[in-house]
Chains A and B, each alone.
Chain A
C-alpha cells in the first residue's frame, strides 16, 4: 500500500501508526491537540486518540521534557513536540542533565524512550528564534541519538523507528521540506536500523557531498548542476547525526578522496567539524584535499530578508566543491593555511 503524502503528513501518519501499535505512546506539546500543531503534523490525532494521549501542555518546554522524563520512568513512551527549534533551549537542562543520562545513571534500570520532535532550520522567511539549527548541541551530548529527515518516505518510517527506540531521540524535521510531497509505502515494518543509516542519494566519483535535512535537495541540485560541467558528485544524506554512519561515509570518501560537508548551522563546533575530524582520522591516506565545510556563518540567525546570505545554496555548495578540487574558490589558499 502506498499514498501520496507531504513530509509533515508522513510524520503524522507515522505517529498514528506508532500510537496504534503501542498504547504507551503519548504525545505532549504546545498547540498539538485541537490545532494539530502549528505545522498540523499532529492534525486529527487528539480527535482520534483523546486528550490523554495527545496532550496540549501548558506553555513550558522544561515542563514538557521534565514530565516526559517522569512519564518514561512510569513506562510511557512520550513523543514531545517543541514548537520551533529556537524554543528547545528552555528544555535544554532537562534534555542534557536528565533525559540523556538516566539510562547510564541507573545502570540501565530506567530507559528514556523519549522522542523529541523539532521543526528545524531556516529558508522559510521566519521571525527570530524560528530558524535555528541546534543539532550540534545535542550530538555533543552523550546518551542522545540525533537525526534529521529529508523526505516523506523516510520521515514516515523513521519517526516510527525513533518512537520505538529505547534511547532518547532528537528528531529534526526541516520546515522548508514540510510541504514536500512524495509516495509513501505504508505497508510492512520499517527497515530496522534505518534511523542510524546514511543514504547514498546520488552516486558519484569526484567529490562526496555530505548533508542532511533541509539541504539535501540543495546538494542534489548542486550535483545536477555540476554534472553539466562534467563533474560527478556523490550525495549522501547522513540521516543520523549521532551516531554518524561512519562505514557509509568512509566508504564513499575513500573512493572520491574529497569531501564537502554542508549544513545550515554555524561552522564552529558544528556537525561539519565532527565529520572533518572523523574523516581525517579514518581516510587520511585517501584524501586528496582537506575536508571542506559549507555552512551558515558564525552569526546569530539573520533577519528573514537576509537569510539567503547566510544559508548554503547551490552556488555555495559548488564553491565548496571547487575548494575541495583545489580550484579557485572563495576559500582561497589561506582558508587551509
Chain B
C-alpha cells in the first residue's frame, strides 16, 4: 500500500538532492568551479561571455513577466511562464550552432529568443491569432509542440535526415518531466539509438507536470531511464547556466562526431503557475516555492559576477534597461498584432488544390457577403 501511495503525498523533489553525480559549476551562492571535465568545457567563458548569458537570462525573465502581465490585461489569451527555468533554456540554447535545429515544447521562450524569434513572434500564438509564431527554417526551431512528447520523435527524424545528408547539424529536443511518460518519448529514444541520430534529448525537470509531481512520472529518477534505451545521460543542475552549457556542449559534440544521441536531465523548478490559467496553490506549498527561490538561476549568476567585479550596479542597470526595452517592444509588438481576415482559415490546409475545401471557401464568402448586405 505504501508504495502505491508514495506518489500521492509527493511534491517536487527537494531543490538540492545533494547528488554528487549532478553536474554543477556554480554553487547557489555564486562560487565557480574551475577544475574537472565539465569546467574545462566552459573554460573559454570569461566574464564578458558570462555577462552575455546573464543579460539573456534577465531579458527573457523580463519578457516572461511582461507577457504574463499582457495576459492579465487581456492582450494575450494564455501564457506559460518560464520563470525559474532561464538557466536551463539559455545555457542549452547558447550551445547551439546556426545550422542546428530545435524541436521544443510550449514553455521554451528562452530558447526561441536565443534562436532569434522576434518579440512579435513570441506573442502570436498566445494572442490567439495563429497556431505558429515563426517560420521554423528562419530560426532553426520548429513550431513549439502542444501535444506532450510528440516533438521528441520529430527531432529524431530530423536528426536522422541530417545524418543521411552528411550535415554537421545536431538537433535538440526540449520536453518536460511529464513528457517522459508519453510513449512517443520512449519511442524517440529507441529510434534515436537504432539510427545513431545526432539528437540531444533535453528534459527540463521542473518538478511539476501541471499538478503532478515528478515522482508520479518517474519515482526512480529521469536521467537513469536513458541507460535502458542505450543512451548516455547526465543530470545537471538546471539552475546553473554554466553547467547546462557544459553538458549541452558535450552532448552536441558527441552528436556531431557521429556518436549518436544523448540525454540530459536539467533539474530546475517552475516557479510560476503551469500557465496563467493555473492555480498552483491547490497542489503545492509556499514553502517548496520559497526553498527553490534560494536556488534562483539569475541571482546565482549575478552573485558570481558581482564577486568577480564584472557586474557593478552600473552594469546591472544597463542590463535592466536592455530588458526593459525588450519588454516594451514585446508590449508594443503584441498589441499591434492585428487579427487576420476570417477567410484565412481556409489557407494552407493543403499544399495542393482541394476542390471540396475550395467550395467551402466559396460558400463562406457567399455567406459573409449575404450577411453584410443584410446589415
Instruction: Identify the A interface with B (CB < 8 A).
Output: 30-31, 33-36, 38, 51-52, 56, 58-63, 86-87, 89-90, 125-130, 267-268, 297-300, 302-306, 308-310, 315-316, 319, 328-332, 335
A33 — which chain B residues lie within 8 A by C-beta? 8, 211
Q: Which residues of B contact A125 (CB under 8 A)?
A: 77, 128
In the assembled complex, B209 has its CB within 8 A of some CB on chain A: yes
Task: Say yes or no: A56 contacts B216, CB within 8 Å.
Answer: yes
Q: How far is the CA of A297 from the CA of B345 in the complex (A)?
A: 9
10 contacts between A and B (CB under 8 A): A30-B209, A31-B212, A33-B8, A51-B5, A58-B178, A90-B147, A90-B182, A125-B77, A128-B146, A330-B367
Q: Which of A127, A328, A329 is within 8 Å of B146, CB to CB?
A: A127
Additional A-B contact list (9), CB under 8 Å, known A59-B149, A90-B183, A332-B366: A35-B283, A51-B8, A56-B216, A59-B178, A309-B342, A309-B364, A316-B367, A330-B364, A332-B363
Q: Which of B121-152 contact A (CB under 8 A)?
A: 125-131, 146-149
Question: Cα distance A149–B196 when bound, in Å?
Answer: 49
Residue of A nearest to B78 (CB): A127
Choice from A62, A89, A298, A300 contacting B360 with Cβ under 8 Å: A298
Main secondary structure on A side of the interface with B: loop
Of the candidates B146, B282, B344, the one whose C-beta lies within 8 Å of that of A129 is B146
Residue of A nearest to B126 (CB): A127
Are A62 and B183 in contact, with the CB atoms below 8 A?
Answer: yes
The reply to whether A34 and B282 form a contact with Cβ atoms under 8 Å apart is yes
| Inter-chain contact B360/A56, CB cutoff 8 Å | no
Q: With a CB–CB cut-off of 8 A, which chain A residues contact B129?
A: 303-306
Q: Are A59 and B339 in contact (CB under 8 A)?
A: no
Q: Which residue of A lies closest to B147 (CB)?
A: A129
Q: In whole angstroms, how far apart are the Cα atoms of A126 and B125 in the complex?
A: 11
Chain A residue numbers with a CB within 8 Å of B356 are 268, 298
Given known A52-B4, A127-B146, contact A303–B131 (CB-CB < 8 A): yes
Q: Measured between C-beta atoms, what is the minimum distance from A44 to chain B in Å?
A: 12
Expressed in whole angstroms, the Cα–Cα distance for A116 and B282 within the complex equals 25
In the complex the two chains form, is A63's CB within 8 Å of B283's CB? no
Mostly, the B contact residues are: helix
Asked if B205 lies at the interface with its beta carbon under 8 angstroms from chain A, I say no
In the complex, the chain A residue whose C-beta lies closest to that of B180 is: A59
Q: Is the CB of B128 within 8 A of A297?
A: no
With A and B bound together, what is the CA distance between A304 and B8 in angstroms? 35
A34 to chain B, nearest CB (A): 5
Residue among B125, B178, B339, B345 with max Cβ neighbours from chain A (10 Å): B345
Contact of A306 among B4, B5, B210, B342 (CB under 8 A): B342
Residues of chain B within 8 A of A89, CB atoms compared = 147
Q: How far is the CA of A63 from the CA of B178 in the complex (A)?
A: 13
- Whether A304 contacts B77 by the Cβ 8 Å rule is yes
A129 and chain B: residue at smallest CB distance: B146
Distance, CA A330 to CA B373, complexed state (A): 12
- Asked if residues A59 and B217 are in contact (CB atoms below 8 Å), the reply is yes
Instruction: Give the residues in chain B near A335, CB-CB below 8 Å.
Output: 363
- With beta carbons under 8 angstroms apart, the residue of B7, B146, B212 that contacts A30 is B212
Chain B residues near A130 (CB-CB < 8 A): 146
Interface members, chain B 300-356 (any A CB < 8 Å):
339-340, 342-346, 349, 356
State whether B371 touches A315 (Cβ < 8 A).
yes
Q: Which residues of B contact A267 (CB under 8 A)?
A: 360
A60 to B356, CA, bound (A): 36
B228 in contact (CB, < 8 A) = no
| Candidates B128, B147, B148, B181; contact of A305 at CB < 8 Å | B128
B155 to chain A, nearest CB (A): 17
CA distance A173 to B344 in the complex (A): 29
B370 at the interface (CB under 8 A from A): yes
Complex Cα distance, B182 from A316, in Å, reads 40
In the bound complex, CA of A311 to CA of B263 (Å): 43
A63 near B181 with CB under 8 A, answer yes
**How distant is the Cα of A309 from the Cα of B343 in the complex, in angstroms?**
8
B357 located at the interface, meaning its Cβ lies under 8 Å from any Cβ of chain A in the complex: yes
**Across the two chains, which residue of chain A brings its CB closest to B370?**
A330
Chain A residues contacting B366 (CB-CB under 8 Å) are 330, 332
- The reply to whether B283 and A306 contact each other, CB–CB distance below 8 Å, is no
Minimal Cβ-Cβ distance residue in B for A61: B182
Give the residue name and chain of the B residue nearest to A298 (CB): B357
- Closest chain A residue to B343, Cβ basis: A309
A317 to chain B, nearest CB (A): 12
Partner of A297, one of B5, B130, B179, B360: B360
Instruction: Pick from A60, A297, A299, A319: contact of B181, CB below 8 A.
Output: A60
A133 to B363, CA, bound (A): 22
B184 interface residue per 8 A CB criterion: yes
Residues of A within 8 Å of B183, CB to CB, are 60, 62-63, 90
- Closest CB-CB distance, B212 to chain A, in whole Å? 6
- Contact check, A59 vs B182: say whether CB atoms are below 8 A apart: yes
| Bound complex: CA A126 to CA B356 (Å) | 27
CB of A176, distance to nearest CB on chain B (Å): 15
- Provide the bound-state CA to CA distance between A335 and B367, in Å: 13
Closest A residue to B5 by beta carbon equals A51
Chain B window 267-310, contacts with chain A (Cβ cutoff 8 Å), 1 for yes, 0 for no: 00000000000000011000000000000000000000000000
Q: A33-B8, A303-B128, A330-B367 are in contact. Are A38 and B345 (CB under 8 A)?
A: no
Report Cα–Cα, A61/B150, bound state, in Å. 13
Q: How far is the CA of A150 from the CA of B128 in the complex (A)?
A: 26
Q: Which of A35, A59, A299 has the most CB of B within 10 A?
A: A59
Q: Which residues of B contact A61 (CB under 8 A)?
A: 182
Interface string of B220-258 (1 = CB under 8 A from A): 000000000000000000000000000000000000000
Shortest Cβ distance from A23 into chain B, in angstroms? 17
In the complex the two chains form, what is the Cα distance from A237 to B209 in whole Å?
37
